[in-house]
Amino acid sequence: MSSVQREISGIPKSHTFSVLNELEKAPIALASDSSFRNSFKEKTHLLVKGQGVLLGKLLNNQRSFSFSVYDNDDKKTNGFKLKITANAAGKVSTAQFYCRINGKWELVRNDVESTTKDDFDVFVKTGSGLDPDIKCHYWFSLDSHNRLLRYGKGEVRKSTLLAELHYKAPHENQDDPFEWVSKISSIFYTHDDEKNPDINKNSFIPVKLYRDPLTVDPAMYVVPTDSLTMDDIARNRATVVANLTPTCQQLYNNVAGAKFELNTPDFPHFTDAIEASIASPQGWCYKTLKSKSTEFGGEPNPDQTYLRITMGVNQGDSPGVPFVMEIWPPGHYSPVHNHANANAVIRVLHGEITVNLYPMLSLYHLTPFAVAKFAKGDVTWISPDLNQTHQLRNANIAGPTCITIQCYMYGEGNTEHYDYFDYLESNGQTRNFTPNSDCDFLGFKEKMKQEWLSNYGSGN
């Protein structure tokens, strides 16, 4: 099977260490909006019985919808339902779990009035109901191995988890009343809006299906194989390149070498020259940064600027030039943005960078679910499904400047090639950013060398 076929319609081999399993899940792309408008379905078949994640979005505005699973797709004697509702008069939008026993639904609650409270542990977070962003993606995870049903919005990960039901294991020597969950073969989705019965009951659009359930969040740090410890795996602190997508592995191998560094024998003061050019009003870096203060719209914002120094040319397999050295002066940051469903690897060459991760690109989701700091030599990653939406910031106000190498590439199965990074303006509007270049790397290096020579008299 070719790599193209494998990424579009297949599932890669599982990893040796299940704790890192999230990184290389290859979801099955189910449909686009247009293909579902006239051919609605009410369920998606799981790739493995009793487990999997369904990701999708809503086609119509509605007040509620639900995910359901059953012991038998036809008889539906026993089952679980998660109902997601919108704001109503005097009520707050929320998500609610139901259990179906012998053909009858019962609301699952943890209080003393619930007849099912002894069988379940349930939590539901604020904001679990229908989202105000009409482009929001919703996901539902079934995990019969760990006896969990999970639900969230945006990227499929524990950090975006909003509701969870844990059905408890039976006591010793007792039959398992939920043995049927391991045999579930489909996830159903329907609208539950009694006040709007004319809305098509199947207005949920399934977008992707994952073979495996949501278990742990993937580690953000990529370390060499001979640096990974047993504690790293047990604590889920780091991963290795073999656990990344095939495209990320290719990118990593281009920039992870020991000699991929700024200060070289021909110009050992490269980083010093960059710092000096940023600090001096006569420096090329200072002037270029100043000219970019309105690049992301609105009023001039000199702190929301950074330099993009490109290596090579756009080869048609990435959004813009695939290799970009980005220069982040102290206190400077990017807008919140995404990455065109591309794969990416980021390595810090100098200083430190802080990464804020978001569940989706949305005015309504501006609280990061994770914040991580990467120092010189650290490597992190982006896949089409994970870490796509972030903000980068050099939080070290007193310095030094941070310099990173960013490299991007579409997966083999990506034939859309959306060539923009979408970002949020300060007013909340989503705009397109065309990945550009402030200077090519060799030209930039020569500029820095000449500035250094003119100011300090030696390039060595």
Does the residue 305 lie in any domain?
yes
| CATH number of domain containing 400 | 2.60.120.10
Does the residue 11 lie in any domain?
no
Q: What is the mean pLDDT of the chain?
A: 87
For residue 396, give its domain range: 244-456
**pLDDT of res. 202:** 59
**Residues 242-253, mean pLDDT to the nearest whole number:** 97
**Residues 190-197, mean pLDDT to the nearest whole number:** 61
Distances (CA, A) of 224 to 231, 239, 377: 15, 9, 11
Query: Could you tell me the pLDDT band of residue 103, with boundaries at 50, 70 and 90?
Result: very high
| CATH number of domain containing 40 | 2.60.120.200
Query: Could you tell me the pLDDT band of residue 297, with boundaries at 50, 70 and 90?
Result: confident
Q: Give the whole-angstrom CA distance, residue 56 versus residue 54.
A: 7
pLDDT digits (tens, 9 = 90+) for 29-47: 665 444 434 334 589 999 9
Predicted confidence (pLDDT) at residue 145 exceeds the cutoff of 90: yes
pLDDT digits (tens, 9 = 90+) for 217-239: 999 999 999 999 999 999 999 99
The torsion angles phi and psi of 154, rounded to 5 degrees, stand at 80, -140
Does the residue 157 lie in any domain?
yes
Any idea what DSSP says for residue 9? H
Does the residue 237 lie in any domain?
no
Q: Are residues 157 and 38 in the same domain?
A: yes
Query: Could you tell me the pLDDT band of residue 334, with boundaries at 50, 70 and 90?
Result: very high
Query: Could you tell me the pLDDT band of residue 298, with boundaries at 50, 70 and 90?
Result: confident
**pLDDT of res. 26:** 58
Q: Are residues 416 and 347 in the same domain?
A: yes
**Residues 115-141, mean pLDDT to the nearest whole number:** 88
Residue with tokens 């992301």: 296
Query: Could you tell me the pLDDT band of residue 377, with boundaries at 50, 70 and 90?
Result: very high
Q: Are residues 187 and 301 in the same domain?
A: no
Distances (CA, A) of 426 to 123, 244, 302, 422: 34, 33, 14, 13
Does the residue 9 lie in any domain?
no
Number of domains in the chain: 2
By DSSP bridging, strand 43-45 and strand 79-85 are: unpaired
Cβ neighbours of residue 343 closer than 8 Å, sequence gap 6 or more: 245, 247, 248, 251, 381, 382, 383, 384, 408, 409, 410, 411
Q: Give the whole-angstrom CA distance, residue 346 versus residue 22.
A: 19
Predicted confidence (pLDDT) at residue 73 exceeds the cutoff of 70: yes
Q: Are residues 55 and 170 in the same domain?
A: yes
Q: Are residues 122 and 167 in the same domain?
A: yes
Cβ neighbours of residue 228 closer than 8 Å, sequence gap 6 or more: 238, 239, 240
